[in-house]
Amino acid sequence: MMNLNRFQYLPRQVVETGNRWDWALLPLVLSALVLLGYGASQMATPYQVGQPLPISLNPEYLPYYLLRTILRMFIAMGASLVFACVFAALAAKVRAAEKVLIPLLDILQSIPILGFLSITVTGFIALFPGNLLGVECAAIFAIFTSQAWNMAFSLYQSLKTVPTELQEAARVFQMSGWHRFWRLELPFAMPGLLWNMMMSMSGGWFFVVASEAISVSNQDIKLPGMGSYIASAIQAQNLHAIGWAILAMLIGILLYDQLFFRPLLAWADKFRFEETSGGAAQSSWLLTWLRRTDRMQGSVRWLLALIDRSFKYFRKNYDGTSIMARSSASNATAERVFDAVIAALTLFAIYRLGYFILSEVGLGEVGHVFLLGIYTLIRVMILIGLAALVWVPIGVWIGMNPRWADRLQAVAQFLAAFPANLMFPLAVVIIVKLHLHPDIWLSPLIILGTQWYILFNVIAGASSIPTELRYAARNLGLSGWLKWKRYMLPAVFPSFVTGAITASGGSWNASIVAEYVTWGNTTLEAHGLGSYIAHMTAIGDFPRIALGIGVMCVFVMSLNHFLWRRLYRIAEERMHF
């Protein structure tokens, strides 16, 4: 069983002078602080809308562009982590909040990133007049919308599947709500959350072009960064610049993999839910280095203890002290009133939507758009199924072999981070040259950037399988299909559902750029909801843009409610440790 004492961080006096490992680590820490400070200072320079921000395709500028992009992505990552913790805690613990937050998250993940940008960029610029920080905040918020949803779903799924014996132990110790989250639930969710953070970081590269190249007040703003560099290279059809951009991305991914994600994954291995020690765990040279320091370890312990003590006044009332002690029952009348308010707001929204449809576009157009949505639904479901057949076995194998996970981690991050839109011109050339049907052969572009959600979540699920369960399966001689049916698939099922639901939402979003592809003077269009929204955006028909996004939200929410939510309930009730 997971040892709860491992999550108790006690403050320890930090030594006055560090050892030789502290002094050896000091240049790395100072270099990181200097780079962060320089990048942050460049984000707050004076700027007026309309002022040109030239982007050079000279490779010597790539380190600076890479620094700016990674800084934006890590700021968005921090905001996404805070959002995921608050969202998951409320949705998993407060039933009334769950009724609102889960459908809301379904809607948010189905809104295209360009939709968020068009709504927020003017407001952010107004917050910081005469300063580039407003545009930077808009870009960071756009990256946030590409990172936050799958992290929130992952943490929510983990909180809903905490083992019963650990929940009972927390009741026995009468932990407050904060201590239960901080010392039990968050550590239990840590392995899966870290893999989803990696996926979010990599998935952010897919949208980095759109987030750094912003249009406002009929002005095109290209913030210095890798996204703007790639956009300029594509516009100039400069293949050499695209090659340099790919190389810079690879270097950046290797750096933050070695300096950030790999140490965290190796550290989180101690939070695996098992009674016996596992086999070979993930390793990190930087974590080994940090564990040999004195001052750095003391500082980390002090910070964790400070966070722990900050919430020590939170308490929770119990109706008993036995092992089955439960919180006091909720107020049924208040729940009915809350449900009635939600129903009234939903009916009002439906009324306003119906009025808009009848007055602006007509019922015939609505029927046509729903038919296009069915085409896209078929594509998404077929591609999710094919991606699951490919990546679930691979993800299980990687997750159950930590040494190979060490070797393939950076490769998986690079493949997930590779901007899929760089493949679109090649797809156009092949389809036109071979006279292929766009409705069929544009479809794989939808899944290029979203299939990795399934892989990363399955890896996280497989890596958290308790060692004693692996020994039991080996001793029972499970093999072949029986091994998959009785052992592996049930073990990774909750993580797979999390990956599938985020991959599904991302695929609907990606259909907007994958069903309507342009290269030079050639445009290929597949019949579907994504191409409809892209086409209406190109001609500036706002009512039909709103209709397309609204119908997409309906499809995503319906799919989540009738398919993924039911699979979530199965995972909560039957398929978790």
In CATH, what is the architecture of 25-271+282-315?
Answer: Orthogonal Bundle (1.10)
Name the token pair of 232: 């300029």
> What are the Cα distances from residue 345, in Å, to 107, 342, 555?
16, 5, 20
Q: How far apart are CA 103 and CA 380, in angstroms?
A: 20
Q: Where in the chain is the domain with CATH 1.10.3720.10?
A: 25-271+282-315, 362-577
Write the secondary structure of 454-491 as one string of H (helix), E (strand) and C (coil). Answer: HHHHHHHHHHCCCHHHHHHHHHCCCCHHHHHHHHHHHH
How far the first Cα of the chain sits from its last, in Å, is 11
CATH placement of domain 362-577: 1.10.3720.10
Contact 549, 111 (CB under 8 A): yes
Q: Is the pLDDT of residue 296 over 80?
A: no
Phi (first) and psi of residue 497, to 5 degrees: -60, -40
Is residue 92 within 8 Å of 160, Cβ to Cβ? Answer: yes
For residue 184, which amino acid is it?
A: L
- List C-alpha distances in Å: 571 to 162, 362, 391, 575: 11, 42, 20, 5
- For residue 49, what is the DSSP state? T
Phi, psi of 381 (to 5 degrees): -65, -40
Asked if 384 contacts 508 with a C-beta cutoff of 8 angstroms, the reply is: no
Q: pLDDT grade, residue 502 (50/70/90)?
A: confident
What rounded mean pLDDT belongs to the chain? 80
The answer to whether the CB of 539 falls within 8 A of the CB of 528 is no
**Contact 392/492 with Cβ under 8 angstroms?**
yes
Q: How confident is the model at residue 460 (pLDDT cuts 50, 70, 90)?
A: confident
Residue 313 phi/psi, 5-degree rounding, is -85, -5
Q: Which two tokens stand for residue 424?
A: 């679109």
Crossing angle, helix 239-256 and helix 402-417, to 10 degrees?
140
Element (DSSP H or E) covering residue 517: strand 516-519
The pLDDT of residue 4 is: 44
Q: What angle do CA 245, 194, 400 make, to 5 degrees?
A: 100
Q: CA–CA separation, 6 vs 286, rounded Å?
A: 21
Which two structure tokens, joined as six digits, stand for 239? 């293949």
- Give the separation between CA 148 and CA 127, rounded to whole angstroms: 23
Question: What is the Cα Rg of the chain in Å?
Answer: 25
User: Does the model's pTM come out above 0.85?
Assistant: no
Segments in 43-132 forming alpha helices (H): 62-93, 95-110, 113-127
Residue 72 confidence (pLDDT) above 90: yes
- pLDDT above 90 covers a percentage of the chain that reads 11
* pLDDT at residue 84, as a whole number: 93
Comparing 132-136, 173-177, 447-451, which segment has the lowest mean pLDDT? 173-177
Contact 316, 45 (CB under 8 A): no
Determine the Cα–Cα distance for residues 446 and 117; give it in Å rounded to an integer.
Answer: 21
Closest CA to 372 of 550, 116, 206: 550
Provide the pLDDT for residue 17. 55
In this predicted structure, the answer to whether residue 457 has a pLDDT above a threshold of 60 is yes
- The answer for 157, left when phi > 0, alpha when psi is -120 to 50, beta otherwise, is alpha
At residue 336, does pLDDT exceed 80? no
Report in angstroms the alpha-carbon separations of 348 from 106, 146, 265, 339, 344: 20, 30, 47, 14, 6
User: Has residue 576 got a pLDDT over 50?
Assistant: yes
pLDDT value at 159 more than 80: yes
Residue 254: count other Cβ atoms within 10 Å of its Cβ.
13
Q: Residue 281 pLDDT more than 70?
A: no
Please list, residue by residue across 371-389, b when 16 or more beta carbons sit within 10 angstroms of its beta carbon and e when fewer do. ebbebbbebbeebbeebbe
Q: Report pLDDT digits (tens) over 220-271.
A: 788 899 988 888 887 787 878 888 988 898 888 888 888 888 888 888 877 7
| 6 — pLDDT class (breaks 50, 70, 90) | very low
Structure tokens at 9: 């961080």
User: 10 burial class (0-12, 13-18, 19+ CB within 10 angstroms)?
Assistant: exposed
Q: Which of 30-34, 391-395, 423-427 has the lowest mean pLDDT?
A: 423-427
Question: Which of 177-191, 286-300, 430-444 has the least mean pLDDT?
Answer: 286-300
